[in-house]
Amino acid sequence: MNRPARAGRRRLPGWVAAAATIAAFSGWTSALPDQLSGTQVVPPPEVALPGYRQPSRDAAFGTPFTRITDPGAALGAGIACRREMCRHRYSSAQAWNADQSLLLIPVGCGGLCFFDGRSYEPLFRRARSGECEWHPVRPEAMICVSPSAVTIWEPRSAREEVIYRAEGYRDLKFGPNKGNPSNDGRWIALRAVAANGQEVAFALDLAERRKGADISLQGLPGRTNSCTISPLGLHVVCFQYLEDGTDQAFVFTIDAQLVQRWPEHHRPGHGDMTVDADGSEVYVGISKAPPDRYFIIKRRLSDGAVTVLAPTGEGQHASLRSIRRPGWVFVTYAGDPAAVARRTGWAPFAREVIALKIDGSGEFRRIVHTHSVRHDYWNEAQASPSPDGTRVIWASNWDQAGGPIHAFVAQLDWPERAAALESITEPQR
């Protein structure tokens, strides 16, 4: 959880007060970065918990949303939610399949629970071990990793095909927990234990069923938290936790050549990767180190160049799972709205999800209030968008610290879709 320091904060020169310009399209703000500090914090209105699968609207932003789980209840189709929680997994884990016809809820429902991706009707439950992530191109398929094999699994039909069986390696891990495939579904990164007992990571080409060179993890400082492939399948990125509490990142080619070491603590962290407008692979997240502590930043994998996207604030998680809507990061903000409002120069967001342009322009869109108040890890909202960015799932205890944790989905239109709808509904002349 990101907690900005009370003293010693650095502010980017040029953050000056200025009113944001509201665009004609509802919900959009176009602002230069130095105008963000002039935008006002919008506290979440006090509203009752919406009914299960009942259409609702954010009282401040007007965004339609739906509560899609009901902790403590049997939802049908063999799916029953635990009383404590029933939610998606994490901000950088894709909840929807490639065509968004299926939505996965894997936490608190006794297995992998699948819902209709648009109506949120419960469909079926599957029990399985190992780690599975949606294939980004094949709607019917998930990429699954067990300790000894990698498979393509189809949840509806239960068909499964072995793509790679480990020989000379054991304890395969897909991340763990923070692994994603490349955007085309061809590459993943695996952690494993080699025959000599050494911990390694390597890229795996699912199309050619061929592993890349071993990346030795033994020589890296600290312990490895996770490794993942980059969006274009060009790099393997590993995150190391040191004894002093520092989280560092190491960027390798798929041929095991070290490209970058980011020794600063979480600079950035709690984020995700995407392909920038110029074709560069970048990591976007929350910095926890000087000179941009608690800023939202973008960092290029090839050379470590940093671009500031938003100033100091209560940014908690950043997601780029909207791989078919590049150029936008979905940021979950935590914090107390009243406290954030008192902080001059801070990003003016609290307990809400926004979409933020990653070009450094400062253009953003306020999406929805999370109504998630601080308690523990699972109470964090951890918002994650669908592949096309038209839906966003988040978790919430709905203003009750320690209360049941529900899953919600917000639905949003983008300008081109809104224009298309307007042309369809416009009377013919």
Asked whether the beta carbons of 66 and 55 are under 8 A apart, the reply is yes
In the sheet with 315-319, reading across from the earlier edge strand, the strands are: 21-22, 28-30, 364-369, 352-357, 328-333, 315-319
- Return the structure tokens found at 316: 């908690």
| Residue in the structure block whose two tokens are 């939802």 | 75
* pLDDT of 60: 97
Q: What is the Cα–Cα distance from 11 to 364, expressed in whole angstroms?
A: 20
Using 50 as the pLDDT threshold, list the residues of the chain that sit under it.
Answer: 1-32, 419-429
Each residue of 100-117: b (16+ CB within 10 Å) or e?
bebbbbbbbbeebbbbeb
Judged by DSSP in three states, 96 sits in strand
| Residue at 312: amino acid letter | T
Q: 102-105 and 391-396: which strand pairing?
A: unpaired
Q: Radius of gyration (Cα) for the chain, nearest Å?
A: 21
By CB atoms closer than 10 A (0-12, 13-18, 19+), residue 256 is middle
74 beta partners: 80
Q: What is the Cα–Cα distance from 334 to 322, expressed in whole angstroms?
A: 21
Phi/psi of residue 56, each to 5°? -135, 170
Distance of CA 394 to CAs 67, 365, 380, 420, Å? 10, 16, 9, 27
| 8-state DSSP, 85 | B
- Return the structure tokens found at 403: 């209360």
| Residue at 215: amino acid letter | I
What SS3 string covers 413-425? CCHHHHHHHHHHH
Q: What is the pLDDT of residues 85-114, one digit of tens each?
A: 999 999 999 999 999 999 999 999 999 999
* pLDDT of 326: 96
Domains defined for the chain, CATH in brackets: 15-97+272-420 (no CATH), 128-263 (2.130.10.10)
* pLDDT of 415: 83
Q: How far apart are the first and last CA of the chain?
A: 56
Q: Would you put residue 53 in left (φ > 0), alpha (ψ -120 to 50) or beta? A: left
- Return the structure tokens found at 426: 């416009």
* pLDDT of 19: 25
Asked whether the beta carbons of 206 and 170 are under 8 A apart, the reply is no
Q: Would you put residue 279 in left (φ > 0), alpha (ψ -120 to 50) or beta? A: left
Each residue of 29-60: b (16+ CB within 10 Å) or e?
bbbebbbbbebebbbbeeeebbebbeebebee
Peptide bond into 176 cis (omega under 30): yes
- Let me know how long the chain is: 429
Give which of 260, 218, 224, 216 is closest to 242, Cα–Cα.
224
Give which of 159, 162, 65, 74 is closest to 113, Cα–Cα.
74
Q: What is the pLDDT of residues 169-202, one digit of tens each?
A: 999 999 998 999 999 999 999 999 999 999 999 9
